[in-house]
Amino acid sequence: MTKEKKVDSNETKNFMESLKANESLKTVLSTALKNTQSLMSVLLPKISLAIKDLIVEFNTKNKGNTKTTDSDLIQVKALREHAFSLVNYNRKQQLNTAFEMVVTRAIRLALMATDYSNEFNVDTKTNSVFVMSKIATPYIVEKLEGQKSATKKRPNTSTELVEINTGIIDKIYRVKYPTKVLRRAKTKDESPEYTLKDMATAFTKNFKLAVSYATNRKVEFFDLIDDDTIKTITDMKKLLDTSLNQVVNFNNQFQVDIDGDGIEKRETLKTAINQ
């Protein structure tokens, strides 16, 4: 996997269109474009295997060709554009978020199944996706009976292939190709939106606890609250009163785009996304 490039030459486009694997890929993509009930559970494995076949054929026919390289075409963005073109899908004219999600996820799975063939397997007869256990679940959580620390994590060393829910494919892909992650900050300073998620969760939990202590007149209240804290919370309330609607409206109207580096109008995802 190399840095993604925009592909627009007629030579590379014609080469991709000449591959025989396009026939089966086009068939399953056409089905996926019309079907919203079994996208992830049934069609994703079939699309992924068809894309893997396309990659294998590309690599076989393209061996030794210096004009058409895998760095141009065998990467997520170019494969997605190729898949969309096979079924004349135009997201600007009729956005289908569920279809885009299943295609993108299928491409990621196909790339991993190609690059790490011993760690992934796709069975289209049972519509199942298998991943090496230690890849799917890096750590095993053990429950420690009678101990103050209730759980303990230990590394998973199992190389057995286990069936997975397709929802974790994106997570595994980000681990396998970390340089592809566009919106995962390295530090908290680089990601204020990430720390805000943490702070909002922690604040809600602790504020509910403070309310409980105040209601029951518990001395533990003062472990959480002092005069400075009251002033900060009061200022937060003023800020929420004046700005919360703006934040909520923006969140409801927009979402991260399919490439992860911009925004687009939000569309309610089909329930198939999480299957």
| 30 has pLDDT over 60 | yes
CA gap 4, 180 in Å, rounded: 9
Give residue 191's pLDDT. 45
CA gap 132, 115 in Å, rounded: 14
Q: Which of 8-22, 86-100, 172-186 has the lowest mean pLDDT?
A: 172-186
pTM, rounded to two decimals: 0.60
Quote the mean pLDDT of the chain.
79
115 phi and psi angles, rounded to 5 deg: -75, -30
**What amino acid occupies position 162?**
V
**What amino acid occupies position 239?**
L
Residue partners of 7: CB distance under 8 A and separation at least 6 = 13, 72, 73, 78, 81
Q: Where are the beta strands (DSSP E) in the chain?
A: 120-123, 128-132, 139-143, 151-155, 161-163, 254-256, 263-265
DSSP state of 138: S
Radius of gyration of the chain (CA): 24
Give residue 47's pLDDT. 92
Distance spanning both ends of the chain, measured CA to CA: 28
Instruction: For residue range 86-134, list pLDDT tens digits in order.
Output: 999 988 888 788 888 889 999 999 999 999 999 999 988 888 899 999 9
Give residue 267's pLDDT. 61
Q: CA of 258: how far to CAs of 91, 104, 250, 255, 265, in Å?
A: 11, 8, 18, 9, 11
